[in-house]
Structure 1
């Protein structure tokens, strides 16, 4: 049985990962679960999957749940708890499904411990791609993408010579406001933004889809995952979310990966790679879909996407600054402190003030992350 630990077990990716595990109880064993503050769901997961180790957001929550856990389960908390779940115990694979740059330290610890990574935390590569890739190579660790777009590219490249790849295209649904003009976006609400037309995801990533920040983060992640230049990475609007991404080769052939919008498919592929198993997803009928539509990306309509790509090309701490500013701006929007369009403005203002540092070490990355958050909170 493959032993798995999950960082972010009560979130959207974490719960769907456990759906896949539940479908194949003879093949997977849960070694550890790290959650935030959703204690009720975590306790339900512990009763069902019987991990040996769990972690929660704070020491107070850890003390609270100890009495409710079966004897013998180790309990941790905070960032140290994430690292313990990621690098301790006997897991062969760690699924990193926590949101934001908080996943960086624990992912690096998991790689250092020789765990293969099911990567759903794109911010890890966005903020410190050069460090993560170098460590993974040194430790012989696989970085297996869980995002539907990167899983699609990964599958399309299987068995192919990387030198034959001309370009990749990441598809984007367009999010909650894909048919809105810039003027119509001025008065949208949090509730409006959280109604994604295709996918069931957490609040933060749903907002990122609406601003197209999420696609910008995916472009940066693809650069590190597949070793491609930014000139080789394209973004295309595809409202149906049936083609999850595709690869064009130098002979002009294109290989695409298609499927219904169900995150359990890429999650399962990461867990079972290189094998393919029966999936709980609904089978795709192109006849029922009828037609697929595509639109060129409008970078004037989605300025945050252009900012992300520019930061990727700049390298250094620029991507860390972009990500940190966005996380704070999105949190402020979700709390009702700022209007929707202010998210992009805060990111832009932060980047205008940021002094980029090339090839940063972990200490520089953490310093940038911390100071940018303070700035973005004050604007």
Structure 2
């Protein structure tokens, strides 16, 4: 049977790669809906090619979609509305905190969720995981997909640690004086992956790995002290599981996001997509993170361990700081400074068990981070 798929964030990096998977295997998929933030022109071309029944545009002028033959949702909340439309799987590839509402909407509608929006789990934490009970969530991030696959069929009591690998980004070998002078154009030159601007900067600061540690804690119900991060510059091993007897199972694959995307869309099936991972003549290395210099990783772990509103505040402050860096309003090494200052003053918001409370944390942290950005410009 064809898998009925909705893609949220269809015009972004993950979304376009998902549509590439679907285009290569049209007999396996039916596109139910497509949602974009503001790129109406590309969304219109995607609608013409894949003929979804629903289309959503979160921002911008939906009249650019014209008479596209689909039911159109537009304006704030459009993606969340589309996420609730019945589908076999909803791929949430929305960037940043904006994806949380769509995650909640899809899970409440009992749609299986292929999650590429890690911020949903970072900010929503235990509440989101409660909504996902019963196997309704399949991770798309290459690291969490790797761990998910390594854990399948394993006895959880045999688990010792989860292993998350990090590429180290473009700056891992630099020292502090060199890092002080890097700009956005340098941070966006990732050595092994091609991704959107925000996640590429997060890779350079190691915040991406910090967010992934928090996500892994919730996805796999593993304590923080049993999640290990290593820097693996070749980006061939995406993650793994260490067992109590000293053995390990590692997941290796080409640096091609279409593989974890396809696995999440068709789980538990696999389809041919990429050439086999080259092995002859290859060398793989693993190093400890440089937490003294790339402080976003330990800041994220500390926020996760603190729990409550801290992970949501961490994520919001990071989004503000990264955008300020991309806009050349702050320096690279000021990103963790701003995040740390915000985390030091997080107030008590009470239980985070609804979207409104989590959004209140997000607004507060953005305002605080914005003030600190302004003070540095």
Task: Give the TM-score normalised by the residue count of structure 2.
Answer: 0.96
Q: Which moved more, 1:347-356 or 1:225-234?
A: 347-356
Aligned with residue 318 of structure 1, among 310, 318, 323: 310
Matching of residues 272-287 of structure 1 within 5 Å: 272-279=266-273, 281-287=274-280
Matching of residues 102-251 of structure 1 within 5 Å: 102-137=98-133, 140-251=134-245
Matched, 1:30 2:26: no
Q: CA deviation at 1:359?
A: 3.5
Q: Which moved more, 1:354-363 or 1:300-309?
A: 354-363
Gaps of 5+ in 2: 373-377
Cα distance in 1, alignment partners of residues 142 and 36 from structure 2: 22
Matching of residues 30-69 of structure 1 within 5 Å: 30-58=31-59, 60-65=60-65, 67=66, 69=67
Q: Which moved more, 1:36-45 or 1:236-245?
A: 36-45
Q: CA deviation at 1:12?
A: 0.6
SS in 2 for 1:228: coil
Q: May I ask how many residue pairs the two structures share in their alignment?
A: 370
Q: Contact 1:318–1:356 at 8 Å: present in 2 too?
A: no
Cα distance in 1, alignment partners of residues 214 and 68 from structure 2: 42
Matched, 1:268 2:262: yes
Cα distance in 2, alignment partners of residues 86 and 360 from structure 1: 22
Cα distance in 2, alignment partners of residues 195 and 332 from structure 1: 18
Q: CA deviation at 1:63?
A: 2.6
Q: Contact 1:114–1:141 at 8 Å: present in 2 too?
A: no
Cα distance in 2, alignment partners of residues 303 and 83 from structure 1: 34
Cα distance in 1, alignment partners of residues 74 and 97 from structure 2: 17
Q: Which residue in the other structure is 2:319 paired with?
A: 327
Q: What's the CA shift string for 1:14-47, capped at 9, x where partnerless?
A: 0111111112111111111110122221111111
Cα distance in 2, alignment partners of residues 164 and 317 from structure 1: 32
Cα distance in 2, alignment partners of residues 238 and 370 from structure 1: 35
Distance verdict in 2 for CA 1:166–1:37, change over 3 Å: same
Q: CA deviation at 1:164?
A: 1.1
Q: Contact 2:6–2:87 at 8 Å: present in 1 too?
A: yes
Q: What's the CA shift string for 1:115-156, capped at 9, x where partnerless?
A: 00101000000001211111121xx35210100000000011
Q: CA deviation at 1:356?
A: 4.3
Q: Which residue in the other structure is 2:291 paired with?
A: 299
Alpha-carbon RMSD across the aligned residues, in angstroms, is 1.2
SS in 2 for 1:292: coil
Q: CA deviation at 1:358?
A: 5.7
Q: CA deviation at 1:56?
A: 1.2
Distance verdict in 2 for CA 1:242–1:153, change over 3 Å: same
Q: CA deviation at 1:318?
A: 0.3
SS in 2 for 1:33: strand
Q: Which moved more, 1:359-368 or 1:217-226?
A: 359-368
Q: Which moved more, 1:197-206 or 1:296-305?
A: 296-305
Q: Which moved more, 1:149-158 or 1:290-299?
A: 290-299
Q: What's the CA shift string for 1:85-137, capped at 9, x where partnerless?
A: 1002x312100100111111111111010100101000000001211111121
Cα distance in 2, alignment partners of residues 117 and 86 from structure 1: 9
